Structure 1
């Protein structure tokens, strides 16, 4: 019988070994925290925090942009560190992950439980290392509270995030092959600002709980506004989804009218947005570039009579822009579409955002035309057509964007 090479065996069982190691790490941390801090002294507070934390995991998570998830469980875990200690925070994290309503395989649930618990305990250890107090009720005055609770909670928040990201990135590396560094950068940059806000809210919960004398009511006082914000994000998400469906319908109409353009709008949209990000444009500008790239051929659905050739293309571009100008959420994209169309009519210098859409459109028409042209040849043709400094910078961004499409960055993921 032929034996399985060690590397193959490791590839097959690496994830299982990693999950087992994560569980062992969480158990080891629990023993360490018990030896250092003992059992939580306030079992009632531990029960309340675990119960409220479990409720937060039973609520659907929301996202403002499809990447940054907005949940309240981080607030509960961070608040638990000064109130019931690192071991208690680990128990809260364990209960939250173990009782999640999401239907996931047992192995993944086990990993999520170990990850949530160990991240909470690591954050608790960091809290003490930087001088955090576990006797908040004995602190008086703004400065001691900020120095011995506020700052340590922010540090614990950051350490919790990094520990969570490392554990998740490791399992994704083994299961999906995503490079560890790319996954870490993506998770930390997308979750960092939101995570910092969780630390501030947790600090307020601790202050209201102990020095403020609100006890368990403090967690409810803090979470009610978060529930309102969650509801607002859900409404915003529904609105975004409705807009996306409307845009998809418009693209479908374009491709029905001009079947040879099937897939063209999506490719132009993606490429133009990548170039906009490469130039460091703001989120609103990137969104406008993405939408303008998606809808730049909308005027082809209804073209003014008596036009042909380049005049027809320009007329279609202007008509498409005018069709969208009365829609507030598409006004920016409409302006870019009009700029791109006017470049076809008269020699003007478009804005950078409009130039990105124009170049992405020209590139894709040549690259996927009949006959198709090779990628390098397309870029050479484009460079020969316009030699002004802005266009040359755009062509450089185009080359980088094409490279990014071939080797895309990892997207934020969770193990659940």
Structure 2
């Protein structure tokens, strides 16, 4: 913002381009080109607004300070608006979220306060710089800014560490249970879509997506011989499978940022009529996140190929969920999920060849109660 006032709109565009390239040294080329282009275009949009408002340049500032304040504020909004218009389609293509929701959640909320702060800081820098302090002005304003950026980078590093923790868990799960590879990511994406539809606050949305990603983390505590056993499981083996929610809570129990995830991991196999496990909870006594995950978990299992059956179609699976409202699943959440999938579609698991059942029949534990005959041909839904 300071450059618009100190050197003019054209210089602001040039500085935006140089800064975007300098900050993107370790970014993939395509992303670097997109980020640089979006910043230059955003600066260009801001430049047009600054010119339209006859924003003062250089020492004209001191004769028109009120006009400068208005011009800088509106230019900042224009800059962010152009950036949003460029970013929202990308977010929509990547996550399936509406453009309006993407704009509010990904652009307005996280950038409104920083935008105000940068605009004010820009004005202060321009006033002090043009007032004759020059380099001293730069130091007076840039040092606090550098400290603030460092603090933000530390926060970003913490989020990266959290993401690495989640990826490590998922890697272990999918190494152990080959036939459900990608399942955790799809469940996380599905609950994320539903959470956005339900207009969850940003922090709750993130916790829900984490819960979807980690819902089966307790399978690492189940013997591999049981998870990969050909054919049906006996009662004792089923008991071992049913311990995986509790095992999951034990694994993530001491990780602070996953505190809200624990109840969802523990209870995602409860059923709305109280016939699920581990606690036999029913109705709204089942934690909200667990009810959401139970629906998406069953949906992804049914729409994925298993060794003993082909994948069901999306519409067939939605019909099963609707059929099992109020028995297995929360009726209102099923209606919401059906609406989300029909609006935005569903990225099902990649098709896999169905092996000869005589040679291999590794039963996915989420299929074990999907029907009266163990999930291969039944019509009722609900993960085990």
TM-score bin, normalised by smaller chain: 0.5 to 0.7
1:39 aligns with none
2:125 aligned with 1:205: yes
Note if contact 2:322-2:335 (Cα within 8 Å) is conserved in structure 1: no
2:259 aligned with 1:331: yes
Residues 380-391 of structure 1 mapped to structure 2, 5 A cutoff:
380-387=319-326, 391=330
Indicate how the Cα distance of structure 1 residues 230 and 308 shifts in structure 2: closer, same or farther if over 3 A, else same: farther
Measure how far apart 1:249 and its partner are.
Answer: 2.3
Indicate how the Cα distance of structure 1 residues 263 and 223 shifts in structure 2: closer, same or farther if over 3 A, else same: same
Per-residue Cα deviation, 1:101-130 (whole angstroms, up to 9, x for no partner): 8599x9x99999898667546534523543
Note if contact 1:126-1:156 (Cα within 8 Å) is conserved in structure 2: yes
2:282 aligns with 348
2:76 aligned with 1:157: yes
Per-residue Cα deviation, 1:247-289 (whole angstroms, up to 9, x for no partner): 2222222223322222211211111111111111122222222
1:280 aligns with 199
- Which segments of 5 or more consecutive residues in structure 2 lack a partner in the other structure? 227-233, 348-384
Indicate how the Cα distance of structure 1 residues 285 and 190 shifts in structure 2: closer, same or farther if over 3 A, else same: closer
Note if contact 2:268-2:293 (Cα within 8 Å) is conserved in structure 1: yes
Distance in 1 (CA, whole Å) between partners of 2:87 and 2:245 is 46
Measure how far apart 1:321 and its partner are.
Answer: 1.6
- Which segments of 5 or more consecutive residues in structure 1 lack a partner in the other structure? 1-77, 140-144, 408-416
Distance in 2 (CA, whole Å) between partners of 1:272 and 1:310 is 26
Measure how far apart 1:338 and its partner are.
Answer: 1.8
Counterpart pick for 1:136 among 39, 44, 61: 61
2:361 aligns with none
For this pair of structures, how many residues does the alignment match?
317
2:148 aligned with 1:229: yes
DSSP-derived class of the 1:281 partner: coil
Distance in 1 (CA, whole Å) between partners of 2:238 and 2:340 is 28
1:19 aligns with none
Distance in 2 (CA, whole Å) between partners of 1:326 and 1:268 is 23
Indicate how the Cα distance of structure 1 residues 338 and 191 shifts in structure 2: closer, same or farther if over 3 A, else same: same
Counterpart pick for 1:240 among 142, 147, 159: 159
Counterpart pick for 2:250 among 312, 316, 322: 322
RMSD over aligned CA atoms reads 4.3
Which has the higher relative contact order, 1 or 2, with Cα contacts under 8 A spaced 6 or more apart? 1
Per-residue Cα deviation, 1:64-119 (whole angstroms, up to 9, x for no partner): xxxxxxxxxxxxxx212222233443454466568888599x9x999998986675
Note if contact 2:218-2:248 (Cα within 8 Å) is conserved in structure 1: yes
DSSP-derived class of the 2:199 partner: coil
Distance in 2 (CA, whole Å) between partners of 1:81 and 1:109 is 24
Structure number with higher helix proportion: 1
Distance in 2 (CA, whole Å) between partners of 1:98 and 1:255 is 38
Residues 67-86 of structure 1 mapped to structure 2, 5 A cutoff:
78-86=1-9
Distance in 1 (CA, whole Å) between partners of 2:75 and 2:45 is 8
Indicate how the Cα distance of structure 1 residues 103 and 330 shifts in structure 2: closer, same or farther if over 3 A, else same: closer
1:366 aligns with 302
For normalisation by structure 2, the TM-score amounts to: 0.66
2:210 aligned with 1:291: yes
Note if contact 2:215-2:248 (Cα within 8 Å) is conserved in structure 1: yes
1:357 aligns with 293
For normalisation by structure 1, the TM-score amounts to: 0.62
Measure how far apart 1:230 and its partner are.
Answer: 2.5
Measure how far apart 1:360 and its partner are.
Answer: 0.8
Note if contact 1:158-1:196 (Cα within 8 Å) is conserved in structure 2: no
